[in-house]
Structure 1
């Protein structure tokens, strides 16, 4: 008997390979005692499946497990939808790099069978909660598993802002923006921006400047319990954007405040047994293996 009674399926939109993998999953899960539910947009790619479907925001309260077929971007969207409900996520990689979606399609039946029988590793990942305040009122916000980024939007010009951590002034900066990253996001945009890798178990937040105007501006790691406050400079001619995981955004204006802190609810990620973060780094980033095999 499986410990997961209802399994939700989410697929990468516009990907034929993801659709084929979901069909394999459906065929396999149909032989178990699991109920299968499709996320609504995914169901649109599988006409005539006859399976029940729910909007993404209903996956959390409806399912015991959600399997995401796609890349890390697909999993990020699902993570924000299910986090508040404690529903675990399992990723099947049909994207490119795939730090979070770590099951390969050719082993899908064996790996999913292990998970359904309770043979898996799980870990908790924290998200960031972001709010944009204007004249003391919240005008927008969002959650991020990877990162919150302030950037100039479509305008190629520097922006000015001040950074505060736990109420203390850190610095003012002129740059293309700032990446505020979780340990999960340290393998994503923050890594491209020159930030260090952080082990997923760390309780820390990373601040990575994007093309700063001073050579002394460097990435900084702060406590995961810190609150970061950004004050958008009054001299900005652009209207900086704030994005969460590159998928949701809020447009700011001079004088706005951006507040970022750890979200209360955590995400549960499921991995195959003996999942190894360092092995993932070796495979995905091309690190050297043992000198003698």
Structure 2
């Protein structure tokens, strides 16, 4: 018996390998009797042309499972599509590293097992970011599965800001920015910045400064229940941007502050049978290559 019967398909736009995989998966799913709904924002009109096409909001409301075909960036987009819903995501790897998309593009047996309920469920925390004015009113907001990044914009100079955690001053930075990472994002930009790898089960966030002027400014791991506030001088606002998973950019204005905390709802990922987190790390980071035991 199939656990999932109405399947959404989304993928990386303008990628021939991805569109070919989407077409083959759509044909396979329909052959199993599934209803297939294609994300019209990312899948060209000529691909899976016999399937219904829809946009982001109806897609999250109508499917039992969303299959994301591409790389980790594609899965991040999918996470934003279904955020706040109970729709799980299955990632099919047509990218490069693929920490999150772990189904082989030609292995329909893995997909079939997931459809039949043979999978590993994996809930991942998300972050909520808000720009607030001096009165505490929300000016703009975004969510992130990987990270919220404060970074310099249109300048080679460092930016200055303060971080406050749960109302207490943590640090005063002069740097190129700050990465606030979930455990999921700890193997992405944060890792490139020298941050720690956090196991997905760890209930924490990592603050990783980007090229800090003071070398003693090291990455900091804090509770996922913490409230992070970033205060910035008003005369620097034109040189600062806030990015949520590189999916949405927020533009601070004079008098604004940034507030980051855990999002109310996690994203639900599914993995095929046999999934092991440390297997993924060894394979993607090439741990142990050339050093047999």
TMscore range, shorter length: over 0.9
Aligned to 2:217: 217
Aligned to 2:100: 100
8 Å CA contact retained: 2:22, 2:47: no
Q: How many residues align?
A: 291
Query: What SS is found at the alignment partner of 2:239?
Result: coil
Distance 2:48 2:26 in 1: 13
8 Å CA contact retained: 1:178, 1:210: yes
TM-score (norm 2): 0.96
1:32-111 aligned within 5 A? 32-46=32-46, 49-107=49-107, 109-111=108-110
- 1:48 Cα deviation after fit: 6.8
- 1:16 Cα deviation after fit: 0.3
Aligned to 2:157: 157
Aligned to 1:16: 16
Distance 1:43 1:81 in 2: 14
Distance 2:174 2:225 in 1: 26
Aligned to 1:232: 232
Distance 1:97 1:45 in 2: 28
- 1:255 Cα deviation after fit: 3.0
Distance 2:200 2:253 in 1: 34
TM-score (norm 1): 0.96
Distance 1:75 1:229 in 2: 28
Aligned to 2:114: 115
CA RMSD of aligned residues (A): 1.4
Q: Show structure 1 runs of 5+ residues with no match.
A: none
8 Å CA contact retained: 1:160, 1:174: yes
Q: Show structure 2 runs of 5+ residues with no match.
A: none
